[in-house]
Amino acid sequence: MTNGTQLPAYHFDTQRVRAGYEPTEHNNAVSPPIYQSTAYDFKDVEHARNLFSFQEAGNLYTRVGNPTVAVLEQRVAALDGAAGAVALASGMAAISYTLLNLAEGGGRILASPYLYGGSADSFKKVYPKLGIQFDYAKNILNPEKLAEEITPDTKAVFIESISNPNTVLLDVDAIAKAAHEQGIPLVVDNTIATPYLFNPIAHGADIVIYSATKGLNGHGNIIGGLVLESGSFNWESEKFPQFSEKYYTLRESNGNHRSFPEVFPDFPFTTRIRFNYLNYFGAAIGPFDAYLAIIGLETLSERLTKQSQNAVTLAEYLNAHESVEWVRYPALEDSPHHTLYQRDFKNGAGGILSFGFKGTQEQREIFLNAIRLFHYHVNIGDARSLIVNSPQTTHGELEADEKAAADIPENLIRISAGLEDPADLIADLEQAFQKATK
């Protein structure tokens, strides 16, 4: 139903406009149609029987599958080289369904301390009540020592490929190796990088998560998410008894119950999310939102290239500014992540950067209030440039010690570079700095 890579011979830029969609199957429509339909007629009783016993692939009900949504799933799967994908209503649904699918009977997740605010907040507030506990890795920057932190109850390692808001880069290959040596998968939230800047599966990841809300779609007009799987992790181990469980919903026509890996050997993880969590918890993405994400993907490479260029220009301007204490951006030569950037990010470091405002809290607030061209809000990856004081907003729920562990100083200001002319962006920052320091 959702295995991608229909066009394995083509390059990335061809796949992002073509993969997962065949016009002859859709009345020769060139642009993928929006299938705004709740359900799909069965041809006859036998067709219904075959669909329900998974003997035949097809559409049943839009909560678990829709032809427009399937184009999005297959296209992103192709871009990531994934064996399977499931699209969901948000990035948070992608994270929560992944964590439940991994550790639904209880267990521990070893997480990077450098995470999106909503992830960090929910890991503290919600999951422990469901029996899922988080350990924040002390050795995420030294993966050769990571094994010490993996307990018998640890179900996965969870990281971001480019962290939010700090743009920390990690040695994903070495982290994947440490996880695999302990028999557990690596989950990578690749939202900021997008498949254009970084391919987690090629670096050893087993599960990839996206908020499609951000750079993947790139126009600040939808909420959406995806979970992808490499297809190479062995889920039938004692650590993951849920994957050996036989379900009556997966029965053969003779009544024999089966497990997800038996019925969907190539992509059991995302199919189990689809038929258990998406089906019963219900965070389905609408066909129109999926369509907007498909259109957004068509310009992914150009957008991320321009945003990376704009971010470099802004980082260099800020780095030389007297009102700036420090700048964090991996493409800068003095970044502690510059070596990994050069090794793994051939297409650029993306649009997110942050800087430390030099001055009092009052001056920082005058500066933010004086900004005119940048939008002041909590999204990222938009075509428009955005600015925000993360420690007081997106990461405002963190306690002081948690902000210290996540390396988010109080004077941090995050920028998400858009597609504007960089001279206008610099002029806007400059006039705001001048108001704040006069």
Ligand X SMILES: *Cc1c(COP(=O)(O)O)cnc(C)c1O
**Which residues contribute to the site for ligand X (CB under 6 A)?**
90-92, 116, 118-119, 160, 164, 189, 191-192, 211, 213-214, 223, 225, 380
Query: Encoding tokens for residue 75?
Result: 């296209």
Phi, psi of 230 (to 5 degrees): -75, -30
* Shortest distance (Å) from residue 280 CB to ligand X: 19
3-state secondary structure 364-391: HHHHHHHCCCCEECCCCCCCCCEEECHH
Count of other CB atoms within 10 angstroms of residue 126? 12
In angstroms, what is the minimal distance from the CB of 176 to ligand X?
A: 19
Q: Which two tokens stand for residue 61?
A: 């009900």
> 290: which 2 tokens?
């999926």
Query: In the block, which residue shows the tokens 């440490």?
Result: 178
DSSP string, 114-177: ---HHHHHHHHHTGGGGTEEEEE-S-TTSGGGGGGG--TTEEEEEEESB-TTT--B--HHHHHH
Nearest approach in angstroms of CB 115 to ligand X is 7
Nearer to ligand X, 116 or 243 (CB): 116
Single-letter code of the amino acid located at 71: V
* Closest CB to ligand X among residues 211, 310: 211
Amino acid at 436: A
Least spacing, CB of residue 32 vs ligand X, in Å: 21
Nearer CB in complex with ligand X: 155/214: 214
The CB density around residue 352, as the number of other CB atoms within 10 Å, is 28
Nearer to ligand X, 222 or 250 (CB): 222
Rounded Cα distance between 72 and 78, Å, is: 10
Question: CB-wise, 1 or 380, nearer to ligand X?
Answer: 380
Residue 369, both tokens:
């209030």
Which residues touch 324 (CB under 8 Å, ≥6 apart)?
318, 355, 356, 357, 358
Closest listed residue to residue 6, CA positions, set 68, 76, 64: 76
Which CB atom, from 227 or from 332, has the smaller least distance to ligand X? 227
Taking the complex as a whole, how short is the minimal distance between the CB of residue 288 and ligand X, in angstroms?
A: 16
CB 302 to ligand X: min, Å: 21
Amino acid, res. 213? T
Q: How far is the CB of 237 from ligand X (least distance, A)?
A: 28
Residue closest to ligand X when measured from CB atoms: 91
**Which C-beta is closer to ligand X: that of 84 or that of 117?**
117
- Quick check: helix, strand or coil at residue 198? coil
Q: CA-CA distance, 91 to 145, in Å (whole number)?
A: 30
Q: Which is nearer to ligand X, 104 or 189 (CB)?
A: 189
- Tell me how far, at minimum, the Cβ of 39 lies from ligand X, in Å: 26
- Report, in Å, the least distance between residue 64 CB and ligand X: 20
Specify the DSSP class assigned to residue 43: S
CB of 221 to ligand X, least distance (A): 12
CA dist 130 and 165 (Å) reads 28
Q: Closest CB to ligand X among 263 and 406?
A: 406
φ, ψ of residue 107 in degrees (nearest 5):
155, 180
Closer residue to ligand X, CB minimum distance, 59 or 161: 161
Q: Which is nearer to ligand X, 110 or 426 (CB)?
A: 110
Beta carbons of 257 and 248 less than 8 angstroms apart: yes
Q: Are 249 and 275 in contact (CB under 8 A)?
A: yes
- Least Å distance between CB 211 and ligand X? 3
Residue 273 gets which letter from DSSP?
A: I
